[in-house]
Structure 1
Amino acid sequence: MKALVTGGAGFIGSHLVDQLVKQGVDVVVVDDLSMGNVDNIKNQDAVTIYIEDVRNEMFMQALLQKEKFDYIYFLAAVASVADSIERPSETHEINHNAVLKTLEYIRTAKLPLKQFLFTSSAAVYGNLPELPKKEDSRVSPLSPYAIDKYATERYVLAYGELYDLPTVCVRFFNVYGPGQNPSSPYSGVLSILTDCLENNKPFTLFGDGSQTRDFIYIEDVIQALWLITIKAAHHQVFNIANGRELALNDIIKTYEMVAGHELSINRTEGRLGEVKRSVADISKLVKLGYVADWSLESGLTRYWEGAEYAASRS
């Protein structure tokens, strides 16, 4: 089996690459390293890595034609809502057009494929009041990032149905775990909290902390992606989450307990376009056999222990 992981040197991508290698899959990574790092990939000797931009059509088409991948995991993206507001046109080129052009080449070149998996986001749901968020819930994307993710989902699923391609989409909720870069503008709130707790830095809290999220530990994410792969789930969207709604204030308290000391907090106004409440219905994923193994406390404990170990070796 042969797999392509775009964005494979990033946080989620590198963990997926490690899992695929463990399963005996021949893995090729394409990453421009704008937010990833090759060192995130543990088994580099077993992986072919191209430092390239997914917008490079000639490169991507030549690679697809040469390798004839069984599985394609499209994770490459501008992954920040704030960044997409600053750079909407560039975001669209990466988050939408690059995916569409890849699918179009697969279609026109009639490349054999077992699965094309596109990674979307819970951001597509926006601030609509219905909770928990189901895959068929109404959507209200509030940013260029969310708009592109939703539009691309529709294309991916339509290509699957219209041209008999084995496509599937997943909507990541709030993923955390080892390998997140707290200094990156794309970083999740838990990696920033980790950095602040570890280095006694003040944490900037946007809004009053009542905003809620559904946090999922990285190992549960990889379990879900692998399950969707082996179950050959096609022409569907899956929420990938823990299924629990937690307020940021409560998350901070839990992390303070895990770390053993309090956090210094600077409060400021909420961010433009930020979703207020978010929690997933994961029943579709559970029907495939998914079980969330990591609670927030257990995940944060592992995350904190890893951060402390890394700091002791630096």
Structure 2
Amino acid sequence: MMRILVTGGAGFIGSNLVAALLKDSRVDRVRVLDNLSTGTKDNLADFFPDERFEWVEGDIRDYETCLRACEGVRAVSHQAALGSVPRSVADPLTTNAVNITGTLNVFTAAKETGIKRMVYAASSSTYGDHPVLPKKEENIGKPLSPYAVTKYVNELYAGVYATLYGLEPIGLRYFNIFGPRQNPKGPYAAVIPLFVKALLNNEAPVINGDGQHSRDFTFVDNAVAANIQALFTDNKEAVNQVYNIACGTQTSLLELFNLLKAEAGTMLVPDFGPARVGDVQHSLADISKAKALLGYQPGVSVKEGLRQTFDWYRSNSGFLG
């Protein structure tokens, strides 16, 4: 039985992970640390009555807060981060403070409290300008945004802490995770909830660029499964590694829109805006390493994930604002 800390647990991926961990018989308690800057308590409302759920409101940029959150914990899933490439371009200082200093605080607090297993959210942005597809973990290029720099530095620190302090880090390079609870509000909202919100309001969504940008879109249940596999793996070869967490399929923004359009049953066509600064043109993951060492399998396809996501937003229209 394990007590697990989830940083950023009030956010999109974190809250989905908390829900799964509370259903796992190997988990004794789930503690969440979040400052609610991008997450919300609404994402956790169902869990507060559960005696196995623990809530800590605080910021990973404060080391003492991280230290308190790590007390009595066996493993950490570090999901707290300030996401979004455009946000990092607009405000690199805050992105650096949260994603690098905050992560270093979490790693150090884990070390000081005797925690070994540290699963952390890495990012496909680390591949930068490396042109070859599909992306393999060992082949990365130059970062194209401050956000990408911060996520790569996380990986470097993880390796150093494994070597010097015996931490057991496992990095999960997420590829465009989507699903229920993903925030559609604000200037840095992800593309899928923005598309869904527009379609449910019978409005034409905006596609940045010509719509040919492609991504390895990955339903959140797949990311959650990867986290749980990483938290509990006893395969020594799986530790101190980074893994692509994706579906291993490529979908353009136009194809994505058309799949959601079919779910909405509408004839709307998108508007096209300027491409975003710092975005890579195409992304596709090789997931063979995660399959081999973690036993990872993307159980939900892009099409099925989009159907579930659209249905969830349609049933939770208040979430869209």
Normalised TM-score (structure 1): 0.94
1:32 matched to 2:35: yes
Cα distance per residue 1:244-288 (max 9 Å; x no partner): 011111111111112211334221221111110000000011113
Q: Which residue of 1 aligns with 2:212?
A: 210
1:69-148 to 2 correspondence within 5 Å? 69-107=73-111, 109=112, 111-148=113-150
CA offsets 1:162-188 (integer angstroms, 9 cap, x no match): 221111111100111110111133422
| 1:303 aligns with one of 303, 309, 321 | 309
1:35 and 1:184 in contact (8 A); partners too: no
Listed as ranges, the matches of 1:186-205 within 5 Å are 186-205=188-207
Q: Distance in 2 between matches of 1:37 and 1:163?
A: 34
Q: 1:180 aligns with which of 173, 179, 182?
A: 182
2:316 and 2:109 map into 1 onto residues whose CA distance is: 43
Distance, in Å, in 2 between the alignment partners of 1:10 and 1:264 is 31
Q: Aligned with 2:89: secondary structure?
A: helix
Q: Which moved more, 1:180-189 or 1:78-87?
A: 180-189
Task: Give the share of equivalent positions with the same residue, in percent.
Answer: 35
Residues 106/304 of structure 1: CA separation in 2 closer, same or farther (3 Å cut) = closer
Tell me how far apart the structure 1 counterparts of residues 285 and 310 of structure 2 sit (CA, whole Å).
Answer: 25
Aligned to 1:11: 12
- Structure 2 partner of 1:254: 259
SS of equivalent to 1:120: strand
Q: Which one of the candidate residues 56, 63, 66 is aligned to 1:57?
A: 63
* Letter of the 1:263 counterpart: L
- With over 3 angstroms needed to count, the CA separation of the structure-2 counterparts of 1:199 and 1:59, relative to structure 1, is same
SS in 2 for 1:72: strand
Partner AA of 2:199 in structure 1: L
User: 14-23 or 49-58: which moved more?
Assistant: 49-58
Give the Cα–Cα distance (whole angstroms) in 1 for the partners of residues 128 and 170 of structure 2.
21
Residues 1:284 and 2:297 aligned together: no
Residue aligning to 2:157: 155
Are residues 1:20 and 2:24 paired?
no
**SS at structure 1 position matched to 2:22:** helix
Between the aligned partners of 1:68 and 1:186, the Cα distance in structure 2 is 35
**Which letter does structure 1 place at the counterpart of 2:121?**
T
- Given that 2:116 and 2:166 are in contact with CA atoms closer than 8 Å, whether structure 1 keeps it comes out as no
Task: State the number of aligned residues.
Answer: 310
The 3 A distance-change label for structure 1 pair 6 and 185 is farther
Structure 1 gap ranges (5+): none
CA RMSD of aligned residues (A): 1.7
Q: CA deviation at 1:231?
A: 1.3
Structure 2 unaligned residues grouped into runs of 5+: none
- CA deviations over 1:171-230 (Å, ceiling 9, x no partner): 100111110111133422111111011011221111101101001111111111111222
